[in-house]
């Protein structure tokens, strides 16, 4: 995608108020895109707007697990060139099976599988033929942790959905980025007060010698948005994690 093309693009980022989504919003605004960030938490969205401070930015509150809200979102947003979703509700999902609450598992499915499905259902009709949809799966589908059965399964399912949608929605392009361990706020839910220790230990294992940063994933998403010959693809951005 050229700078001129980005400058004329209107992009929806679900999960754009923090982490990878916020890094992407910052990158796109810097080159002149019009960006809509969306998420469930109004306070976080307003904090993101205050940080980004751009007249080309707007924020919309939406729960993508609710079909009516998703349909209304696209009525409000109007024309789009690209959709990105980095949203995930994994709170309570990283548990061994005896302690796993089924509702926590259902929230992962709803946010990372049903939500993307609804975004594609209602968002695709707003695209030109050059539009793209990019989701985020994750390394858990390839290197699951002992407490990560639910997240591993949902990430793998999302990647299957990406391939199917790339066929059904063509010529709209549908892809996913599969991040490795990235230093984002979600790790506070996964590792609690052992976040720094956990990420540091992984950094020593990885061939690149560090864990990812949100900007690394923003780079990858930008590539998938801009490369007109890439669809149905899972782009792995994980520092070599699948090799170790």
**What would the DSSP string read from start to end of 195-241?**
HHHHHHHHHHHSTTSS-B-HHHHHHHHHHHHH-TT--S-EEEESTTG
Give the 3-state secondary structure of residue 183: coil
Is residue 15 a contact partner of residue 88, using CB atoms and an 8 Å limit?
yes
Task: Give the HSE-up count for residue 136: Cα atoms under 13 Å, Cβ half-sphere.
Answer: 28
Q: Which residues pair with 177 in a beta bridge?
A: 136, 235
DSSP states along 29-52: HHTT-EEEEEES-HHHHHHHHHHH
What are residue 34's DSSP bridge partners? 10
Residue numbers annotated as active site: 137
Pair of tokens at residue 3: 């700078």
Q: What are phi and psi of 62, to 5 degrees?
A: -155, 145
What are the angstrom distances between the C-alpha of 157 and each of 12, 53, 147, 209? 23, 36, 18, 29
């Amino acid at each position: 995608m050229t700078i001129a093309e980005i400058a004329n693009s209107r992009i929806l980022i679900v999960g754009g108020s923090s982490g990878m989504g916020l890094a992407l919003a910052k990158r796109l605004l810097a080159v002149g895109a019009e960006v809509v960030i969306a998420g469930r938490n109004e306070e976080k969205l307003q904090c993101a707007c205050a940080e980004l401070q751009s007249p080309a930015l707007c924020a919309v509150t939406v729960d993508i697990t609710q079909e009516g809200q998703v349909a209304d979102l696209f009525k409000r947003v109007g024309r789009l060139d690209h959709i990105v979703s980095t949203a995930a509700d994994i709170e309570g999902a990283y548990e061994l099976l005896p302690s796993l609450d089924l509702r926590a598992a259902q929230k992962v499915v709803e946010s990372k599988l049903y939500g993307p499905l609804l975004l594609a259902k209602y968002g695709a009709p707003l695209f030109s033929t050059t539009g793209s949809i990019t989701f985020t799966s994750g390394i858990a589908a390839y290197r699951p942790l002992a407490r990560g059965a639910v997240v591993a399964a949902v990430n793998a399912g999302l990647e299957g959905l990406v391939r199917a949608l790339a066929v059904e929605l063509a010529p709209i392009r549908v892809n996913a980025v599969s991040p490795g361990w990235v230093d984002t706020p979600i790790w506070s839910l996964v590792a609690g007060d052992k976040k720094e220790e956990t990420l540091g230990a992984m950094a020593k294992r990885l061939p690149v010698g560090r864990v990812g940063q949100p900007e690394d994933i923003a780079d990858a998403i930008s590539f998938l948005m801009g490369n007109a010959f890439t669809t149905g693809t899972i782009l792995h951005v994980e520092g070599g994690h699948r090799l170790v």
